[in-house]
Chain A
Amino acid sequence: MTTTPVPGTDTAPDLERRLGEVVAVIQELAALRFDARATVGAAGDIVDAVAAGVNALGEELAASYEEIERRVADRTAELAIATQELRRRALHDDLTGLANRTAFWDRLAHRLERADRRGAAFAVLFLDLDDFKAVNDTLGHAAGDQLLVEVARRIRGELRAGDTAARVGGDEFVVLLDDVASGDVALAVARRVGERLCAPYELGTHRVTTTSSIGVAVGRHGLQTPDAIVAAADAAMYDAKRSGRGACVLHGAGRTGEATSVGVAAPEASPG
C-alpha cells in the first residue's frame, strides 16, 4: 500500500503506474463508488499531492451525496405529508371533519357502479336541522359551529363502518347507507339518527334542543345518478319539513312517501 519513492527519482514506468492508480480511483469515484482511495506515499511529492487531493475530493463527494440523499428523503416525506393534508382538505369538511360534497358524490357514484354487481340496496339520507338558524341568530356563529360539530359527531356515531356522512351546506348533511335491506330499514336508521339529534346540546353555558328533518331515498329504484338520488332524498326532506318538525320521509312512488315523526314531540329551539 505505502510506497516510499525519493522525490524526483521516479522512473517513467513508476510515474505512469502511480498516476494510473490515481486515474483508476477517479474513475471509481465517477461511478459513485466513493470508498475508492489512491495510495498516498511518504515522499509527499506532486503525485502524492494529487492522490491525496483526489481522496479528499472523494470524501467531500460522498458527504455531499449523502447530504443530498438525506434532503431528498426529508423533502419527499414532507411532500407526502403535505399531499395527505391537501387530500384531506380536498375531501373533508373543515369544520366537522366529515366528508365534503366532492367526496360524498365520488363515493355515491362508486356505490352506484357497484350496484349492479351487488344484491343489497343502498340509501341516501338528506338531513336538515330545523332550528339551526335560531341558534345561530341567538347565540352567534361560534355556537352554531359548535352545534354543527356535535351534530356531525352524533350522526357518525349512528353509522356503520361502510357508511359515509358528509356536510354539504350550512346545516345540511347527507348520509350514504352502504348496505340496507329495504326502504323501511333505511327509514329506521333515519329515525334513529333523528332521535339521537333531538337530545339536548350543551353550547357553552347554554342548553339547546333542535330537531331535524330527514329525507330518505333508496338506490336502484330508477335513480341512476348521484344527482338523482340526492335530489330524491332532498325532495323527501322537504316533504318531511312540510309534515312538521323532526319528521323522516321515505321517497317513494308519487312522492307521497311516508312521514314519521321521531321520538321527541317537536321540541322548540330553546337557546339558553
Chain B
Amino acid sequence: MAGKTILEVQNLTKFFNTPGGQLHAVDGVSFTIEEGRTLGIVGESGCGKSTTGRTILKLLEPTGGKILFDGQDITGYTRKQMRPLRQEMQMVFQDPFSSLDPRQTVMQLISEPITEHKLLKSKSDIEDRTLELMRTVGLADRYMNVYPHELDGGRRQRIGIARALAVNPKLIVCDEPVSALDVSIQAQILNLLKKLQADLGLTYIFITHDLSVVKYFSDDIAVMYLGQMVEKAPSDLLFQNPLHPYTKALLSAIPLPVVGKEKPKRQLIRGEITSPVNLPDECRFWKRCDCTQDKCRNGNPGLREVEPNHFVACSCV
C-alpha cells in the first residue's frame, strides 16, 4: 500500500526550560504516515507521546525539526497561517469530562467548529450539519439541547469526536481517546473510530499507553521512551517479534485476562523512568535494561532498520 504520504515528521524536538535544566520532552522523533492509515504511539507517562501529538498540530511550538503536512512545511507557520490548516488536522482529547465547555449544549459544542471556520452560513444548514454529525458518531437527536454533564463518558467522547469531524479533517490526533472509559464503552468508541476511518478515509495518530488497544487499532506502532522512539514497526511484526528490551518488557507487563492456559513468562523491568532533564549522551534505557554493556553508555543509539520496516534503537540488537 504505497499511499500518499500525508504527514512527515523529521527529527522533531521539543524542549522545555525548567529550573533544573532542559527537559527533553520530544527528542529527535521522525516518522511518516500515509493517507488512511493509523500510527499508534505507545509509551508510559512522561515519555513525550502527548507532547509529540500536540507539537505536530502546532499546539506547541517545536524546538527543532520539520513537520511536513501534505507536502507543506508547516514548522514555521504562524498561528494565522495555521488557521486554514486547522480544518485539515484535528484532535480528540483524552478526558471527555474536562475538554468540553460545561456551559454549551451539545448543539453548540458540535456546531462551534463549523461557525468558527465559517464553513456554513445559514442557521438551518448549520443545524442540519450538526444533526448529521451527531448521527455519524451515534448520538441520538434528542441530545441536541442537553449539556455535557447530563451525559456519560462515552457519549461525551462522541461529542469530542463529532467536534473533530465537523471540519472534515484529513488527520486526527487521538490522544488517549478511550482511557477514561469503561471497557464496554471503550469498545463502542473504538468501533466507531474504526468505522469513521473506513467511511471517511481518515488518517489517525493514535496515542495511548494501552498496548492491547493500540494493537487492535493501528497499522504501525511506534514505541516511545524518554522522548525518543525506541522501536517502530508494523503492528503485527512488533507484537510477534519485539526487539527492543523496553518493548519486550512493556508487552510482557500487560496482565492478560487468561487463566489456566500457558502464559508467557513475565519480564519485569527494574526501577522507573528516569528524569528527562539534562539527559546524557547514552542509551536512555540502559539503567533499567538487563544487557548493560559498555557500548550502551557510549552514545545514544539511533533508530536502525534491522529488517524491512522494522526499526530499533538499541546497540545490542
Answer yes or no: are A and B bound together in one complex.
no
- Interface residues in chain B, defined as those with a beta carbon under 8 Å from any beta carbon in chain A: none
